[in-house]
Homo-oligomer: A and B are copies of this chain.
């Protein structure tokens, strides 16, 4: 059985370092294809390029977004910058043909290595003694959270992405859905993929960008373009629900940061990410 994410983010080797992909319309949200999914497609090519290296986890992945992706064929060009015994560094660019011209969508730098299981012993007592983890965010029980699968028809039409997810938002910061944003700049909830694909280091690239943007909770319903998204996968998740928290602390200078933390069902911090997103310009601010 192939899970949906693996099927829709699959890449096919073409020639040296070049992979073909097909961005799936199921991952569209608003006017474009979800940035985390696009990053995962690029990372799938990076992983394939390093298949013989013995390490395939995206330890650190930075995506710089160049133009909005659209459903359809895509090409990922990879270039291994450093091949090491324990980790390697790769550059990749995902592009699409637009009116016969190849247009870059996202360019990526990544370190690929091996991510240990959550709570795996450090192997040395001195390092083990330093262990600390950001504790998991407190969320209401899953059954008390807001199922995004129950969103109104028009929302589900503009965000087919929601059908890929089983997302239960903390009602305390889901009021924007009914016109009452909390203003806290926080969006958080329980998440798993709709077909229950077990989370792994690679799928966390999708997880960190799957929730509605914190700008919704600020009262800005429009699209906030991502300049840059960096994801650090810190520990290997166990199967089950993930807790995901998005928050922003500084909205100034025309931008805001969206920090994301992800914990697995065992309570381990498995990923952290930060993206820099642009505030709507004056002329585009919804009234």
Contact = CB atoms under 8 A, between A and B. Distances in A.
Interface string A58-86: 01101010110000000000000110000
A287 to B, nearest CB: 7
A230 interface: yes
A252 B268 contact: yes
A186 B119 CA distance: 23
Contact of A81 (B66, B235, B269, B280): B66
Interface string A86-111: 01010101000000000010010111
B127 A104 contact: no
A152 interface: no
A228 interface: yes
A177 interface: no
Contacts of A123: 281-282
Contacts of A234: 250, 252-253, 255, 257
A223 B251 CA distance: 34
Contacts of A116: 253-254
A69 to B, nearest CB: 14
A220 interface: yes
Interface in A230-287: 230, 232, 234-235, 249-255, 257, 268-269, 272, 274, 276, 279-282, 285-287
Counted per complex, copies of this chain come to 2
A124 interface: yes
Given A107-B89, A274-B230, A119 B62 contact: no
Contact of A107 (B60, B91, B124, B257): B91
Interface in A185-241: 185, 218-220, 227-228, 230, 232, 234-235
B280 A111 contact: no
Interface stretch (A32-40, A128-136, A140-148, A157-165): A128-136
A134 B259 CA distance: 13
A232 to B, nearest CB: 5
A116 to B, nearest CB: 5
A138 interface: no
A1 interface: no
Nearest to A104: B81
A137 interface: no
A245 B267 CA distance: 27
A219 B131 CA distance: 12
A151 interface: no
Contacts of A134: 249-250
